[in-house]
């Protein structure tokens, strides 16, 4: 007879890691989100060999107290929510307490951190703490993740080319930057700086530093609201389109999400101004009471459930359509769709 037994913590972390950490870009996402949650003003992301060799994230955020450092790497350990009530009002990007233990179970991890005074450095490999020592450090956190998937050869084999993995990293960093124009974010690959935002709180500047100033100049600010939702951001003039939907970024309360209906609502705002197979460039912020959005649908938190999604979609479409019609670009007969 098979004997029922609990899995070891390390094995359980590796299983969870399979859901949260699909590829190097997932590590970047989780660690940058942690830096954002720690109220950082500046976040530097340094990547080698598309993240498979190393990923380092340096922030100037709150840091972690030395006596809590090992705990931060334990499963379901989080400082961000306390009870059931908080789960329905998530204000932070993280809350599941899964990223650090997941990453540590499939890579070699070193984190140096300080809350202002004396700092500490912890080293983990294969999910186990190897050492923790006091360390000289300025306020903030510096985490290095090396040899990702070294103990999960099946996952390593599944990786696409370095170029593809790097492009996924660039994509997620761009979207995190769109959600946080007030944070200076830089991305460096193999010692070459690929992007840097100014951190001045100016979304159009961020769009410019990512898509180029000439494109940013062809984007219009939008704003609209109703009793439940607030819409803001930038959308391209109908003359600036792309062959892919991936130049549309939707953020809910600063979190990048994917949502087919909301993407369709953006496109609908253009009416018949878009040619078939062409999509606008857009960065759209949607603000709402956290009670209206359930982010606990999927481990990566990019899929969400929104209450009153139809109402929100309509607001989004109308906001974009009225902005574009101000530009006199939509002939009269088409505006009352
Ligand atoms: P979660 O983000 O869901 O809480 P994580 O495993 O990503 O879970 O992180 C665990 C905890 O470690 C966080 O709740 C936070 O308290 C702390 N932490 C992680 N990264 C940082 C960081 N860069 N700066 C400050 N604290 C951090
Ligand atoms: Mg986290």
Quick: pLDDT tens for 274-287.
999 999 999 999 99
Share of the chain above pLDDT 90, in %: 77
The residue whose CB lies within 8 Å of the most ligand 1 atoms, and thus the one to mutate among 96, 100, 180, is: 100
Q: Which residue has the tokens 């935002």?
A: 197
Question: What pLDDT, on a 0 to 100 scale, did the predictor assign at position 334?
Answer: 52
Q: Up-side HSE of residue 85: CA atoms within 13 Å toward CB? A: 1
Instruction: Please give the order of strands across the beta sheet that includes 184-189.
Output: 128-135, 119-125, 108-114, 140-146, 54-59, 42-48, 184-189, 192-196
Instruction: Measure the CA–CA gap between 327 and 249, rounded to whole angstroms.
Output: 22
DSSP state of 180: -
Distance 171 CA to ligand 1 centre (A): 22
- Name the residue among 238, 203, 199 with its Cα closest to residue 221: 203
Element (H, E) at 333: helix 332-335
Ligand 1 proximity of 61 Cβ (cutoff 6 Å): yes
Q: Which residues, in sequence order, are CB contacts of 160 under 8 Å at separation 6+?
A: none
Instruction: Measure the CA–CA gap between 31 and 43, rounded to whole angstroms.
Output: 10
DSSP state of 183: S
**Distances in Å between the alpha carbon of 92 and those of 12, 30, 34, 184, 201?**
25, 12, 9, 19, 19
Distance 94 CA to ligand 2 centre (A): 4
What distance separates the 2 farthest-apart alpha carbons in the chain?
Answer: 75
Q: Up-side HSE of residue 99: CA atoms within 13 Å toward CB? A: 24
Ligand 1 proximity of 17 Cβ (cutoff 6 Å): no
Question: What pLDDT, on a 0 to 100 scale, did the predictor assign at position 337?
Answer: 46
State yes or no: pLDDT of 328 exceeds 80. Answer: no
Element (H, E) at 164: helix 162-179
CATH 3.40.190.10 fits 218-330, yes or no: no
Q: 89: which 2 tokens?
A: 């009002």
Q: What share of the chain is helix, strand, coil (3-state, %, to 5)?
A: 35, 25, 35
Instruction: Measure the CA–CA gap between 140 and 40, rounded to whole angstroms.
Output: 8
Question: What pLDDT, on a 0 to 100 scale, did the predictor assign at position 336?
Answer: 47
Give the chain's end-to-end CA distance (angstroms, integer): 66
pLDDT: which is higher, 185 or 7:
185
The mean pLDDT of 21-36, rounded to a whole number, is 95
Distance 320 CA to ligand 2 centre (A): 33
Question: What pLDDT, on a 0 to 100 scale, did the predictor assign at position 10?
Answer: 83
Instruction: Measure the CA–CA gap between 302 and 110, rounded to whole angstroms.
Output: 27
Question: What pLDDT, on a 0 to 100 scale, did the predictor assign at position 132?
Answer: 98
Confidence of residue 85 (pLDDT cuts 50, 70, 90): confident
State yes or no: pLDDT of 297 exceeds 80. Answer: no
Question: What pLDDT, on a 0 to 100 scale, did the predictor assign at position 176?
Answer: 96
Question: What pLDDT, on a 0 to 100 scale, did the predictor assign at position 93?
Answer: 86
For ligand 2, an ion, list residues with CB under 5 A. 34, 94, 99
Ligand 1 proximity of 80 Cβ (cutoff 6 Å): yes
Question: What pLDDT, on a 0 to 100 scale, did the predictor assign at position 335?
Answer: 47
The mean pLDDT of 124-148, rounded to a whole number, is 96
Report helix, strand or coil for 29: helix
Question: What pLDDT, on a 0 to 100 scale, did the predictor assign at position 325?
Answer: 92
Instruction: Measure the CA–CA gap between 70 and 239, rounded to whole angstroms.
Output: 53
Question: What pLDDT, on a 0 to 100 scale, did the predictor assign at position 236?
Answer: 97
Q: What is the sign of the dihedral through the CA atoms of 235, 270, 278 and 253? A: positive
Which residues belong to CATH 3.30.230.10 in the chain?
218-330
Fold of 9-196: Heat Shock Protein 90 (3.30.565)
Report helix, strand or coil for 148: coil
Quick: pLDDT tens for 201-248.
999 999 999 999 999 999 999 999 999 999 999 999 999 999 999 999
Element (H, E) at 207: helix 203-211
State yes or no: pLDDT of 80 exceeds 90. Answer: no
Question: What pLDDT, on a 0 to 100 scale, did the predictor assign at position 81?
Answer: 80
Which residues belong to CATH 3.30.565.10 in the chain?
9-196
């Amino acid at each position: 007879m098979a004997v029922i037994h609990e899995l070891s913590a390390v094995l359980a972390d590796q299983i969870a890691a399979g859901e949260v950490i699909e590829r190097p870009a997932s590590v970047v996402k989780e660690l940058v989100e942690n830096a954002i949650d720690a109220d950082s003003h500046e976040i530097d992301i340094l990547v080698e060999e598309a993240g498979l060799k190393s990923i380092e994230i340096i922030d100037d955020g709150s840091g972690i107290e030395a006596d809590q450092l090992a705990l931060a790497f334990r499963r379901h350990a989080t400082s961000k929510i306390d009870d059931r009530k908080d789960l329905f009002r998530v204000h932070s990007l993280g809350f599941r307490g899964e990223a650090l233990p997941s990453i540590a179970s499939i890579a070699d991890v070193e984190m140096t951190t300080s809350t202002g005074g004396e700092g500490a450095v912890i080293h983990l490999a294969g999910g186990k703490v190897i050492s923790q020592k006091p360390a000289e450090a300025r306020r903030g956190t510096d985490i290095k993740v090396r040899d990702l998937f070294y103990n999960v050869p099946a996952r390593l084999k599944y990786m696409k080319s370095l170029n593809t993995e790097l492009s996924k990293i660039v994509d997620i960093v761009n979207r995190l930057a769109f959600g946080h124009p007030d944070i200076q974010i830089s991305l460096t690959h193999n010692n070459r700086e690929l992007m840097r935002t100014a951190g001045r709180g100016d979304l159009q500047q961020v769009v410019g530093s990512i898509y180029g100033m000439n494109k940013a100049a062809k984007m219009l600010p939008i704003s609209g609201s109703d009793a439940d939702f607030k819409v803001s951001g930038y959308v391209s003039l109908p003359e600036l389109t792309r062959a892919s939907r991936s130049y549309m970024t939707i953020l809910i309360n600063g979190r990048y999400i994917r949502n087919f209906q909301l993407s369709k609502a953006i496109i609908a705002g253009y009416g018949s101004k878009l040619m078939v197979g062409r999509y606008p460039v857009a960065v759209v912020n949607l603000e709402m009471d956290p009670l209206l959005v359930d982010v606990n649908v999927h481990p990566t938190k990019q899929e969400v459930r929104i209450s009153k999604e139809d109402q929100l979609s309509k607001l989004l479409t109308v906001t974009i359509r009225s902005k574009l019609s101000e530009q006199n670009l939509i002939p009269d007969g088409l505006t009352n769709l």
